[in-house]
Amino acid sequence: MSKSMTNHRIGTRQEWLTAREKLLAREKEHTRLGDEIARQRRQLPWVRVEKEYRFDTDDGTQTLAQLFDGRSQLVVYHFMFGPSYQAGDPPNSSIGDAVNGIFSHLHARDVTMVFVSQASLEKLQAYKRRMGWSFPWVSSANTEFNVELGFSASEEQTRAWLTPAVEAEMPPIVSRNARETGTDVVRYLTESPGFSVFALDDGAVYHTYSAGARGVEFLMSYYAILDRVPKGRDEGDEWQMWIRRHDEYGSK
C-alpha cells in the first residue's frame, strides 16, 4: 500500500518559485563540481597493463586489447556473477537493463563497453538470453583479470574477513542476493561490483580508472529519477531490497 504524502509542507506558487531558485543555485554548484571532478578523473596517471589477459567471448578467446573492438577506449563493468552463482545478481541485473540500449552512442564517441564476470561463458550466455540483453559479456573464469583489479576474491580470502561478527552486521541485501543468485553468503561475496576504464595507445593497453561500491551507482539511472520524485528512493533501512530482476516484479 502506498504511504500517504499529505503531511508534506504545502505552499503557494510564489513560495515554490522562491525555494526553487535557492535550490537551483545549489544544483548549479553541484554540476560545476561534477565537471571539475570529471576533469580530475581524466587526469589520473595511466598504468600500463603488462599481462596479456585472455577472456572467453562469443567470438572465441580474446585478449584485453582485442576487446577494444577497433576503438581506443574500453569501459568494463564487473558484473557480480561468480562461478557458483546460478543467476546474475539482481542489482547488477538492473544495471544491465539500464545500459543495454546505450552502446551505439558510446561507439560514436570511440568507446567500447563490455561486461565481465567470473562465471562460465555458458552461464552468462543463458542469463543474457533470459534478460533479453544484447551487450557483449565475457567470462574471466580462466584469467586473473577480475581478481587483480580487486573485484573478485577466492573463497578462502573471503572467509578470512567474513567472521560471524562481520556477517551479523551485513545489510539484509547480502543474504537476500546470495539466495537470489543460488549460492551462499561466502561465495556470493567473492564478487563485488566494479567499473574500470582502459585506453589503447600505439598497441599498448593502459588502465586509467576504476570504481566500486557506490562508485558504480551512476550506472543505475533509475536512482537519479527517484532522487527527483517526492518519495525519493524510499528505501529506509532496507537498501536495495526492493530491486528485482525485471521479469520478477510482482512475483515476490
Give the pLDDT mean for 214-241.
Answer: 95
pLDDT-derived band at 252 (thresholds 50, 70, 90) equals low
Predicted pLDDT of residue 250:
86
pLDDT tens digits, residue range 110-142? 999 999 999 999 999 999 999 999 999 999 999
Side chain identity at residue 206, one-letter code: Y
- Burial class of residue 185, CB neighbours in 10 A (0-12, 13-18, 19+): middle
Reference 82, options 220, 185, 212; nearest CA is 185
Measure the CA dihedral 191/88/198/39, to 10°. -90
Predicted pLDDT of residue 1:
46
For the chain, give the percent of residues with pLDDT over 90: 94
| Chain CA centroid to CA 156, Å | 25
pTM of the predicted model over 0.75: yes
C-alpha 5/C-alpha 75 separation (Å) is 41
Which of 6-20, 41-55, 84-98 shows the lowest mean pLDDT across its residues? 6-20
pLDDT-derived band at 4 (thresholds 50, 70, 90) equals low
CB-CB neighbours of 182 under 10 Å: 12
Residue 209, beta-bridge partner list: 197
pLDDT tens digits, residue range 39-65? 999 999 999 999 999 999 999 999 999
pLDDT-derived band at 3 (thresholds 50, 70, 90) equals low
Q: How many CA atoms lie within 13 A of 242 on its CB side?
A: 10
For residue 152, the 8-state DSSP code is B
Give the pLDDT mean for 152-162.
Answer: 96
CA distances for 60 relative to 54, 63, 163, angstroms: 10, 10, 40
Q: Given the DSSP bridges, would you call strands 194-201 and 73-78 parallel, antiparallel or unpaired? A: antiparallel
With a CB cutoff of 8 Å and minimum separation 6, the contacts of 232 are 226
Q: What size, in residues, is the chain?
A: 252
| pLDDT surpasses 80 at 5 | no
| pLDDT surpasses 80 at 176 | yes
pLDDT, mean over the chain:
96
250 Rama sector, left if φ>0, alpha if ψ -120 to 50, beta otherwise: left
CB-CB neighbours of 141 under 10 Å: 17
Using an 8 Å Cβ cutoff, are 209 and 196 in contact?
yes
Rg (CA), the chain: 21
Using an 8 Å Cβ cutoff, are 119 and 141 in contact?
yes
